[in-house]
């Protein structure tokens, strides 16, 4: 199954991935033409009304990822957090996510309780390199298909990023993702990292970041970056629009509210796949 994802990596000089958090967002992203999708743990936490502070469980995540994978026909990459325990837990978790139909998993090296590194003032604690690499090895050995393992590090120091990326690649990671490198980690560092680890690199682009403002695909590719995660843009847009609509409706009343453009009801139905269901009903019920 994951031959599709490997093929996409070969077809794109830089493969861009949006982040999705439920079946509806996944359908809309696929409809827009994105060739592959990445689930966002922050977004899955948000659907439960929780902050991204390791409050949802492996089961919560697996259920969300299963719904996303079922909703679309494009490859899905699953954010598997830190694997929800030690190497044996990671082994089992990888098996469960693989059975859910994803084509790659992202395994990070934060120690529990983990946090979103992009929260203001966040303090990130990492597993030691050896134990973190063992978890990568467990994920790589657990797979029974062509599942890709993406090892994410939340280290910020350039030397530590290189140390961890090298260890994770040696442990069996197919790609390495420096998720939150510090401001001193420049394009030369990305290029040197790609040369030393020998596997494709994944970069995360956040709204307002330097990468968003300054780095085009040619720049990214020349620096050895093969995959770019265009992170949480859809989630932030949806949350902002929903808050505005609910606030205006409550304050001004529905008739007086100047609403933003709304999707037509039939368009929503089409996006949700009602055409296929109606076709089955016509086939079996008439």
Q: For the residues 196-201, what does the mean pLDDT come to?
A: 96
Structural domains in the chain, CATH included, are 3-238 (3.20.20.60)
Percent of the chain scored above 90 by pLDDT? 77
**The token pair that represents 116 in the structure block:** 């979103």
Inform me whether the pLDDT recorded for 1 exceeds 50.
no
Instruction: Specify the pLDDT at position 256.
Output: 58
Q: Using the CB atoms, write b or e for 64-93: b if 16+ within 10 Å.
A: bbbebbebbebbbbbbbbbbbeebeebbbb
Q: For the residues 246-267, what does the mean pLDDT come to?
A: 81
Q: Please give the Cα distance from 197 to 212 (Å, whole number).
A: 25
User: What confidence tier does 2 reach under pLDDT thresholds 50, 70, 90?
Assistant: low
Q: For the residues 3-20, what does the mean pLDDT come to?
A: 94
126 has which bridge partners?
Answer: 110
Name the strand (E) or helix (H) holding 197.
helix 187-197
- Over residues 101-110, the pLDDT tens digits come to 999 999 999 9
- Mean pLDDT of the residues in the chain: 93
Instruction: Specify the pLDDT at position 243.
Output: 93
Q: Using the CB atoms, write b or e for 134-145: b if 16+ within 10 Å.
A: bbbbbbbebbee
- Over residues 85-94, the pLDDT tens digits come to 999 999 999 9
Inform me whether the pLDDT recorded for 220 exceeds 90.
yes
Inform me whether the pLDDT recorded for 217 exceeds 90.
yes
* Report field, pTM of the whole predicted structure over 0.75: yes
């Amino acid at each position: 199954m994951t031959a599709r994802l490997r093929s996409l990596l070969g077809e794109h000089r830089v493969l861009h991935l949006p982040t999705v958090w439920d079946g509806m967002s996944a359908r809309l992203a696929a409809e827009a033409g994105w060739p592959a999708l990445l689930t966002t743990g922050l977004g899955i936490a948000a659907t439960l009304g929780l902050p991204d502070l390791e409050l949802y469980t492996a089961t919560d995540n697996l259920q969300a990822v299963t719904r996303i994978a079922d909703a679309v026909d494009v490859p899905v990459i699953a954010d598997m957090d830190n694997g929800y325990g030690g190497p044996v837990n990671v082994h089992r978790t990888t098996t469960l996510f693989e059975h859910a139909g994803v084509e790659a998993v992202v395994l990070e090296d934060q120690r529990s309780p983990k946090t979103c590194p992009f929260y203001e003032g966040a303090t990130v604690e990492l597993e030691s390199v050896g134990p973190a690499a063992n978890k990568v090895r467990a994920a790589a050995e657990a797979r029974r298909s062509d599942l890709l393992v993406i090892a994410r590090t939340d280290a910020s120091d350039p030397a530590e990023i290189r140390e961890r990326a090298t260890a994770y690649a040696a442990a069996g990671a197919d790609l390495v993702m420096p998720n939150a490198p510090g401001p001193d980690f420049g394009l030369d560092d990305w290029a040197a990292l790609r040369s030393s680890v020998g596997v494709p690199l994944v970069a995360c682009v956040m709204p307002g970041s330097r990468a968003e403002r300054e780095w085009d695909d040619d720049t990214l590719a020349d620096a050895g970056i093969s995959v770019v995660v265009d992170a949480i843009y859809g989630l932030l847009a949806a949350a902002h629009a929903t808050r505005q609509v609910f606030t205006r409706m409550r304050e001004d009343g529905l008739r007086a509210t100047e609403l933003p453009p709304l999707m037509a009801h039939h368009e929503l139905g089409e996006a949700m796949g009602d055409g296929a269901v109606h076709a089955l009903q016509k086939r079996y019920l008439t």
